[in-house]
Amino acid sequence: MRQGRGLLAGGRATEHMNKNSVLDELAVDRYRLLVESVTDYAIYMLDPKGIISSWNPGAERFKGYTAGEVIGSHFSRFFTEEDLRERLPDRILETAAREGRFEGQGWRVRKDGRRFWAHVVVDAIRGQDGALMGFAKIVRDLSDQRATDTALHDSEERFRLLVQSVTDYAIYMLDAEGRVTNWNAGARRIKQYAADEIIGQHFSKFYTEEDREAGEPAKALAAALSEGRFEKEGWRVRKDGSRFWANVIIDPIHDESGKLIGFAKVTRDITERLESQQALEVAREAFFQSQKVEAIGMLTGGIAHDFNNLLSVVLGSLELLRKRIDDPASLQLIENAAQGARRGVSLTQRMLAFARRQDLKVEPVDVPALVSGMADILKRTLGPEVTVSLDFPERLPAILTDANQLELAFLNLAVNARDAMPEGGEITLSARAKTVAEGAGQDLAPGAYVCLSVADTGEGMDEETLKSAAEPFFTTKGVGKGTGLGLPMVKGLAEQLDGRMVISSEVGKGTRVELWLPAASGEPSAATTTPREAEPAEDASAALRVLAVDDDPLILMNLVAMLEDMGHSVLEASSGKEALALLDSATVDLIITDHAMPNMTGAQMAAQVRATQPDLPIVLATGYAALPANAEIDLPRLPKPYSQADLARAISRVMSPA
């Protein structure tokens, strides 16, 4: 029984062992089937010396060897020559044996010699007693992924090089708090900081003090976050403290999960564009201003011309009337009327000077002598509270100007200076010889000039007042206390003489007005100014037969009356055509004609007369400075308005030429 039970027990044990063996074989078969089915991984075994002992289809697919070609060979055959020289296969096995596992990536070689990028895992296999039995090796072909990674890396590197190479834009990153994390060449060029000077610093460093106090840097980042983008122009500060006008763009940067990791910032220096825009605005404003002044000048000149005609009638009639009245009271009224008319003449002269249409007698004038001759009138006009100082060099070139108009200009400037010094002060009249070189950019032709200056110690002008000071009809003297034509008249005189006027002023430090006028060639005359002609007696010329021509009946009537009062006989014509018709049937000694007449001007009529009677004296009466550019002849002129004495002098000059 015991033996039977023992046999039975032994049979059961043998049966159990057989069953486990079968199960183990089944498990091994399943693992073998699993490994044999894998084609994306090379899975094979190595013995402790690295000899290949198994090979799956995945290994055959991307290494190119069949099992029969590699089993029994050393796994180092898959390594590159470089790795073999570095003993990489041996070091892999040593690492796996020592640490239990090796993992890495590197180039491996296929059967056909082509390389592929492999991810390798080698695990040591040990028995129950711990003895090394071999290695399990799993290899994955990552060539496609590496190509993608390499392409991405190359793209990123090219982009980095691109950003680093840009010099016209400052392109850099900020972290989420606004600190600079990288820096390109454009940022260094524009903002002047080297990378090691600025990385880690807050970008508010580039803002002006005013913008930092106003919280502009934080507002910019907040706007970029809320709107997805921020763009603005404004002043920024370089390392040396200088400012530049910048166009700034800030974009927020988020990771894949949407978390903010920083900002991309692009800054461009557009100072030149801003300056160009400002220069364009200044030029446009100057153009509009010149158009406005030109329009006002044309209007003013036309009005002044018409007023001159009217004042000629008033003054001429008053002058003739004075000769016919003996009553003192009536004579005083006539004188009052004449005085008012003369003030009107002074005003029209200013208007014509501003419009650059006044009649000028240009000749060399000695400025120091002219100013010395004005000493008495300056003292009487300016009063005892104003001191006048003269500062002239011993030798000064004469200038080409009209002495009378220059006196009037000095007087205007001196009165303006006095009015700017209500508590009194000092006015300095000075002059210096100057030379304007080619391309000096002073709106003056190159050549020799004399700079005349009238400076005061008065209140001065602020920028806005200074900007408008020479504009027509602008005045700070209050209603009824100034015409606003004083400085425009002086400016018009200077420009009519091919010079210029320059005003400089500062509040509390006075004003200086400079007149740059062309110097006359040769030495200045020793005379103070050209002596004015003495008024001739009314009978200085013999009785003449005069043809008077004017389209305005009042002026014609006044001219005829003055001529007849002087003892001359007069023929009248109201147009150039009528005057030419009279000359066909009558003989005259002299023609006095208006210039600005419709259909045929006085100059045009004179040209036709000269064609047949070249020696017939002709006087042109006009309120304008010069004849039109297309005038064919030069004629003696009688400036309007004129008195009977002016008329007599004009007749005397043409009838008795020197």
Residue with tokens 């060979």: 73
Q: Where are the domains of the chain?
A: 1-37, 166-269, 276-354, 363-518, 545-655
Helix (H) or strand (E) holding 200: none
What's the distance, CA 611 to chain centroid?
56
pLDDT category of residue 545 using cuts at 50, 70 and 90: very high
Q: What is the residue type of 388?
A: V
Q: pLDDT-derived band of residue 423, with 50, 70 and 90 as boundaries? A: confident
Q: In 105-198, where does DSSP find H-type helix?
A: 143-165, 185-191, 195-198
Read off the pLDDT of each residue in 373-400 and give the average, rounded to a whole number. 82
Residue-wise pLDDT for 315-370, tens only, equals 778 877 777 888 787 778 777 777 776 666 666 665 555 444 455 667 888 888 88
Q: What is the pLDDT of residues 89-103, one digit of tens each?
A: 999 999 999 999 999
Contact in structure between 626 and 362 (CB atoms under 8 Å)? no
Helix (H) or strand (E) holding 186: helix 185-191
Residue found by looking up tokens 């094979």 in the block: 44
Tokens (6 digits) for 8 = 């039975």
Question: What pLDDT was estimated at residue 606?
Answer: 92
Token output for 429 = 């009249």
Q: Is 459 or 524 the better-scoring residue by pLDDT?
A: 459
The counts of H helices and E strands in the chain are 21, 20
Residue 320's pLDDT is 79
- Beta carbons within 8 Å of 446's beta carbon, 6+ residues apart: 436, 437, 438, 440
Q: What is the pLDDT of residues 434-472, one digit of tens each?
A: 888 876 666 788 888 899 898 998 888 887 777 766 565
pLDDT tens-place string over residues 634-658: 788 887 777 888 888 889 888 876 5
**Domain 545-655 class, CATH top level:** alpha beta
Q: List Cα–Cα distances, 334 to 311, 327, 328, in angstroms.
A: 14, 11, 10
d(CA 548, CA 638): 13
Mean pLDDT of the chain: 79
- Give the CATH number of domain 276-354: 1.10.287
CATH of domain 166-269: 3.30.450.20
Residue 125 pLDDT: 92
- Domain 363-518: give its CATH architecture: 2-Layer Sandwich (3.30)
